[in-house]
């Protein structure tokens, strides 16, 4: 897992057709109301893909993508194909074309993103590279904000850090804990935290009363340019050299 970047993507879309109910599962207490998101499935050529409807009537298309570089990560959430990317492989664009899914245009050409990076030692990852991940920046993108905002926990000596992008509709999880990454994060938290982030970003409300989501909501608020409500005691920052 060390050399991969795991990108969880959510695209607001226009109302789809041909979908089926999602799998029945136990209630997820991440959310304060079980109706915040209703999950459904689209099938094509023997493969199934996830869509979801929030309690405001907005649909989303979700995919999970493994990336090998920052440049792949950046392109993983591209929802339109501009002329300068006409020869690039854009997984999300191609999939939506295949299903005849139309993005719901919000003034952005990129989807919401949550990336996971598993590392040997978090302290060896520079603030610059952590910002690249959180902002979904490619290798040649300029650095505008010269610091990162994050929260961090530690379990049995292994650190996990959540870093918020600045006005990029994205954030990152960087962890030393491979068990957490494989058994807890990818099967559940990657998607759930992204749903929370999307809901918070669109509606200004965090749909959870749980401690960790509340900390994340405060972190996300701290990197919104027009939001002054974040509690600075509940996140850390680090300057990019």
Model pLDDT, residue 58: 97
Model pLDDT, residue 28: 77
φ/ψ region of 20 (left if φ > 0, alpha if ψ in -120 to 50, else beta) reads beta
Alpha-carbon span 150 to 173, nearest angstrom:
10
The helix-helix angle for 211-222 and 190-203 (nearest 10°) equals 50
Q: Which residues in the chain come in under a pLDDT of 50? A: none
Model pLDDT, residue 107: 86
Nearest residue to 162 (alpha-carbon basis) of 128, 122, 209: 122
Backbone φ, ψ for residue 145 (5° rounding): -95, 125
Q: What is the pLDDT of residues 71-108, one digit of tens each?
A: 999 999 999 988 888 888 899 999 999 888 999 988 88
Model pLDDT, residue 201: 97
Tell me the pTM: 0.95
Model pLDDT, residue 1: 82
147 with 240: CB under 8 angstroms? yes
Domain count of the chain? 1
| Domain carrying residue 72 | 5-239
Model pLDDT, residue 221: 98
């Amino acid at each position: 897992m060390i050399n991969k970047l795991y990108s969880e993507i959510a695209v607001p879309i226009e109302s789809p057709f041909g979908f089926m109910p999602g799998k029945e599962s136990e209630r997820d207490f991440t959310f304060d109301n079980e109706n915040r998101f209703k999950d459904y499935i689209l099938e094509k050529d023997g493969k199934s893909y996830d869509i979801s409807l929030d309690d405001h009537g907005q649909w989303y298309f979700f995919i999970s993508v493994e990336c090998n570089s920052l440049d792949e990560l950046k392109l993983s959430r591209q929802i339109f194909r501009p002329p300068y990317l006409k020869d690039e492989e854009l997984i999300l664009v191609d999939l939506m074309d295949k299903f005849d899914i139309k993005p719901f245009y919000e003034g952005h050409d990129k989807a919401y993103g949550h990336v996971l990076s598993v590392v040997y030692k978090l302290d060896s990852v520079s603030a610059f590279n952590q910002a690249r991940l959180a902002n979904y920046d490619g290798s040649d993108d300029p650095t505008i904000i010269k610091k990162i905002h994050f929260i961090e926990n530690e379990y049995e000596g292994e650190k996990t850090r959540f870093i918020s992008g600045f006005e990029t509709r994205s954030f990152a999880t960087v962890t030393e804990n491979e068990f957490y990454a494989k058994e807890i994060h990818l099967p559940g938290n990657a998607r759930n935290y992204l749903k929370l982030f999307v809901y918070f970003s669109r509606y200004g409300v965090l749909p959870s009363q749980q401690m960790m989501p509340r900390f994340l909501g405060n972190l996300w608020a701290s990197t919104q340019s027009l939001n002054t409500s974040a509690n600075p005691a509940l996140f850390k920052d680090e300057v990019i050299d």
